[in-house]
Amino acid sequence: MSVDVQLRAITGASEAEERFLKDSMLLLRTAVSGSGFGASVRNALYGYTGWSGLAETREMSGEEIWDRIVMGRECGSTGDHTLDLSVEIVDMEGIGETRLGTPPIRMARWFLDKCIESGDRVNMAALLMHQWMHVSGFVHSPHNIGHDAPSIVAMLVRRALETDFGEEIDAQITALLTLDTSSCGCHPRQRHHAA
């Protein structure tokens, strides 16, 4: 079973930023449709796998996490085997600030431009994955920074691309993505709405 990625809309981006986002989306498609990706998601070691549904937040198994990804299930969607991405580029301090279960993915212009400067499409693909996980309903835990489902699956995207695109990866950008979830508002307590 294979999963596709589609960039449905981009707002707030210059032509160059838009081109880079499209290129990064293609890498994300390469990563998630790769033969070993499903197994890596199912078998990863997660510190926290909270998913906020309509009524409650519960933890999901690796199987369930992969099921949402391979089905392309955004919150409230039955699944079309496609990760649907809408991206809004915003001037803000943090890196990403997507509202739980709610497109568009919101990301900082400074971070996008930093990736463009470094030519690092791999980490941009990883960030798109991280933020899609929020659109799908997955949340962060303050106690498992770097080990919750959005962070781990983003790391798996980076790892999947390492062999072919490793030269692009900027270690400083990797560190920013790994260590900082503070700007991400997607915690169970602060959730907006999800279905």
**Residue 184 binds Zn ion, judged by CB under 5 A:** yes
Q: How many residues bind Zn ion (CB under 5 A)?
A: 3
User: By CB under 5 A, what part of segment 149-168 binds Zn ion?
Assistant: 150
**Residue 139 binds Zn ion, judged by CB under 5 A:** no
Q: Which residues pair with 50 in a beta bridge?
A: 59
Residue 185: partners with Cβ closer than 8 Å, 6 or more residues away: 97, 99, 100
Q: How far is the CB of 104 from Zn ion (least distance, A)?
A: 14
Asked if 131 and 181 touch (Cβ cutoff 8 Å), the reply is no
**Residue 177 binds Zn ion, judged by CB under 5 A:** no
Q: How far is the CB of 35 from Zn ion (least distance, A)?
A: 27
DSSP state, residue 7: E
**Contacting range for Zn ion; rule: CB under 5 A; set: 7-15, 35-43, 67-75, 145-153:** 145-153
Is the backbone peptide bond immediately before 104 cis, with ω within 30 degrees of 0? yes
Residue nearest Zn ion (C-beta atom): 184
**Contacting range for Zn ion; rule: CB under 5 A; set: 38-46, 73-81, 86-94, 183-191:** 183-191
| Residue type for position 61 | S
Task: Give residues in contact with Zn ion (CB under 5 A).
Answer: 150, 184, 186
